[in-house]
Amino acid sequence: MSEDIRQFRIEIPQAELDNLRSRLDLARWPGQLPGEGWSRGVPVSYLKELATYWRDEFDWRVHESRLNEFPQYLTEIDGLDIHFLHVRSPEPDALPLVLTHGWPNSFVEFVDFIDLLARPRNGEQAFHVVVPSLPGFGFSSPPGETGWNAARVARIWAELMRRLGYDRYGTQGGDFGAYVAPAVATAAADHVVGVYITGGLGFPGQDDMSQLTDDEREAFAELSKQDWMNGVDHHGLLGTAPQTFAYGWHDSPVAALAWMTQKFHEFNAGGKPLEQAIARDLFLTNVSLYWLTGTFGSSAWLYYDSTGFSWPEGQKVAPTGVYSGPPGVRRLAERDNTIVHWPEHNPEGHHFVAMDRPDDYAADLRAFFAALR
């Protein structure tokens, strides 16, 4: 296995962009089904307007250039080429930090977040930021066999940090990253100083419900009503027949856009309209990345290789902090974690909060790691 780290630059051929535009021109639109608002899925009028913007106004080259401002690399680990961003801070005492994105996101999740960590203001805690792309996402090679899980990805991340020369570092994760980030600490116990999770720890299982207080039970009941808990069951869909649905997402940009819009709309835990939570161009940059790399199908491995849904448990190797504690229950989270940071009143936001509230998220992450040093 080569340990070479090669420079990488995004250069999508113009023919691919022309093909995308042509496919959007030739879209065959369905009629609107009866029902109010989003009750039947993404409204036709909403998606038509968004697709028109994607075709006529969104400029991939502008956003490609922005992404290329971040130093990017490829290295082979566990038989796969792993793509990653590596942004070193000018601050001499910066702490290395590996960020892990979720699904259906990509390293685009952190583009408004990285500089806040690497180049902070007013002498705040600084970080050397490493952002790998999960296998099968974006420019990372897809797994060639079944059996992949968060622990295997975590071992890749630990090896990546070793190759970069980092002996002590922190980990961060949200969504699927909330499973990977603690697993890095387990895989590299002598190297991880702390684990920061967006949320999801301490959620009660069926056996825990009788132990909850009235307030805890009410908070979890409210969570259970949210769209992201009751929308399209992507766990079931991608765990059962991802190949079947990948044909549509890979062949039709309208189908791909509708799928992404549906999921980002459902994941909008902050209650704002999607376009107010996440800038339209940032959302479309992520959609375009999936489309242009053909990774709608290959990104599904984390669902069809799972044995069923369960909330992240965490670990007790390194201290843990969360951005959003409730409606998770701290005493439940502490069964499997050493919780040292559990804020009660951080501003709410989208499920992908680093895209919605990068300043708030960076401030809270910095507070957690600063207390560990």
For the chain, the 3-state helix, strand and coil shares in percent, each to the nearest 5, are 45, 15, 40
What's the CA gap between 274 and 244, in Å, rounded? 28
| Catalytic residue from among 303, 323, 341, 350 | 303
Q: Say if CB 339 and CB 371 are below 8 A apart.
A: no
DSSP-derived secondary structure letter, 141: P
**In this structure, how many other beta carbons lie within 10 angstroms of the beta carbon of residue 306?**
17
Contacts of 122 (CB under 8 A, 6+ apart): none
Task: Indicate if 303 belongs to the active site.
Answer: yes
Contacts of 244 (CB under 8 A, 6+ apart): none
Q: Which helix (H) or strand (E) holds 73?
A: strand 72-77
Q: Say if CB 113 and CB 358 are below 8 A apart.
A: yes
Task: Indicate if 341 belongs to the active site.
Answer: no
What's the CA gap between 273 and 275, in Å, rounded? 6
Q: Say if CB 67 and CB 79 are below 8 A apart.
A: no
Q: Report strand pairing: 95-100 vs 338-341.
A: unpaired
What's the CA gap between 369 and 366, in Å, rounded? 5
| Catalytic residue from among 179, 351, 356, 364 | 351
Task: Indicate if 234 belongs to the active site.
Answer: no
| Catalytic residue from among 86, 101, 175, 361 | 175
Q: Active-site positions?
A: 175, 303, 351
